[in-house]
Amino acid sequence: MRVAILGGGLQGCCAALALGERGMDVVLFDRNDAILSRTAVANEGKIHLGYMYAGDPSLSTARIMMKGALAFAPFMHRHLGIETHALATSVPAAYVVHRDSQHSAQAVEDYLRDVHELIVKASTGREFDYFGLDISAPPRAWTSSERDTRFNPDAALAAFDTPEVAINPVALASVLRRAIADHRRIEVRHGHQVSKVDSVDDRLCVTSEKAGFVQVDAFDHVVNALWDGRLAIDATMGLKPTRPWLHRLKYGISFTLPDGLERPPSATFVSGPFGEVVSYPDRLTYLTWYPECIHGYSTEVTPPVWDTFPPEPLRTKILTRTIAAMTEIVPSLAAVDAANLPDALVKGGLIVAWGETDIYDTNSELHQRYQIGITSKDKYHSIDPGKLTMAPYFADQCATRIAGDV
Ligand SMILES: Cc1cc2nc3c(=O)[nH]c(=O)nc-3n(C[C@H](O)[C@H](O)[C@H](O)COP(=O)(O)OP(=O)(O)OC[C@H]3O[C@@H](n4cnc5c(N)ncnc54)[C@H](O)[C@@H]3O)c2cc1C
């Protein structure tokens, strides 16, 4: 069986590995000269256990995120080897209730505890499911003196320890790239812009263009993992969304914390348009602050191809303003001099989600992220991962679905 995968981001690469594992031959198309060069490496790498989604009290988003989170490390260990250093994790995140939170500190605390109970149930009887970390302890409320030593008490109403971690997506990508290149069943077609998929007799034909040459290849199955390019190719197969969607361009910054400076806590500020600090033991630090890091919206089927690494002066503006905004909540960051961070990176990508209004609106559908996954039309499968967290989980689901056709 020969399967085309459209898109060499994390979702496409995971699908390729999952299909290769089931004995299928895979051709992976990507328009860039390297796979894993877009959103897959421009995110903050948080492997969501569901704590983030207090805006979905039905817990449906939390339920699906924890399934993805618990499948993530086992999938990577299976394909990349148990000793992989590409899965070094951040310091676990404290969830911090911002003074302008859309939910009270009590409501957030209740939500975190409900999510924790679901995680315990979902992980019972499984070993090393979440990066080998102990996830059995319920979220712990910080005392006010603990909170006041790490956060500005005017901005942080309450803080709770959680076991949630991030991985470094750049480190993971470099190991994945090697695994894909070495895989005897996976052929990568770099520089191929996919323009359509047609159903011809019992086969699916993928049309792509490279350097002005149009090429058509026939396959038994096609998997669309194009992320921001997904809806356009779905439309060529007659799959049209029945609801509004929003593409948001979001950046984040990363740098190695200079020696001598106090390492900030990993923290996720909830609930609303706030941001995160992701702090790694090796001093890699990632910051994002929503009002400073959002730089574009599109409701087009095909959104503009925005820069992963923004040009100057936008780069410096995002870097300095994000550090300044975060310093108002995490005072220890005041010692970070934006002009003196030799490896500072500003990087970003599109967030694709169902919804019409931004997250400033408490009623926005963007607060619910569970309507994601695989839509199949006969032998054509379109995967909306929703989050990096979900890519391995949906890859295995999709490969199992295709293998059932053998
Ligand atoms: C700033 C930011 C922070 C984020 N943080 C997190 C987080 O902490 N945790 C989390 O779980 N998720 C996070 N996300 C979301 C996560 O990054 C995405 O859900 C995920 O990376 C998308 O899947 P992908 O990696 O396959 O996408 P991409 O890497 O974008 O892969 C799609 C590929 O398709 C290719 N392509 C597109 N159109 C075409 C075409 N027509 N022809 C050929 N090739 C094409 C592109 O070149 C690209 O390589 C974040 C996103 C952003 C932007």
Which pLDDT tens digits describe the chain residue by residue (406 residues)?
999 999 999 999 999 999 999 999 999 999 999 999 999 999 999 999 999 999 999 999 999 999 999 999 999 999 998 777 778 899 999 999 999 999 999 999 999 999 999 999 998 876 668 998 989 999 999 999 999 999 999 999 999 999 999 999 999 999 999 999 999 999 999 999 999 999 999 999 999 999 999 999 999 999 999 999 999 999 999 999 999 999 999 999 999 999 999 999 999 999 999 999 999 999 999 999 999 999 999 999 999 999 999 999 999 999 999 999 999 999 999 999 999 999 999 999 999 999 988 888 888 888 888 999 999 999 999 999 999 999 999 999 999 999 997 6
Q: How far apart are CA 395 and CA 12, in angstroms?
A: 8
The answer to whether residues 389 and 49 touch, using CB atoms and an 8 Å cutoff, is no
Atom of ligand 1 nearest to the CA of 13: 26
Element (H, E) at 20: helix 10-21
Phi and psi (nearest 5°) for 173? -60, -40
d(CA 39, ligand 1 centre) in Å: 3
Q: How far apart are CA 188 and CA 306, in angstroms?
A: 24
Q: Does 252 sit in the ligand 1 pocket, CB within 6 Å? A: yes
Give the CATH number of domain 1-45+168-243+368-406.
3.50.50.60
d(CA 350, ligand 1 centre) in Å: 7
The answer to whether residues 32 and 228 touch, using CB atoms and an 8 Å cutoff, is no
Residues in the chain: 406
Q: Does 389 sit in the ligand 1 pocket, CB within 6 Å? A: yes
Q: Does 30 sit in the ligand 1 pocket, CB within 6 Å? A: yes
Q: How far apart are CA 195 and CA 47, in angstroms?
A: 32
Q: Does 264 sit in the ligand 1 pocket, CB within 6 Å? A: no
Atom of ligand 1 nearest to the CA of 293: 1
Q: Which residues make Cβ contacts (< 8 Å) with residue 82, sequence separation at least 6?
A: none
Token pair for residue 167?
């991985």
28 bridge partner residues: 5, 188
Residue of the CA atom closest to atom 51 of ligand 1? 43
Q: How far apart are CA 251 and CA 307, in angstroms?
A: 10
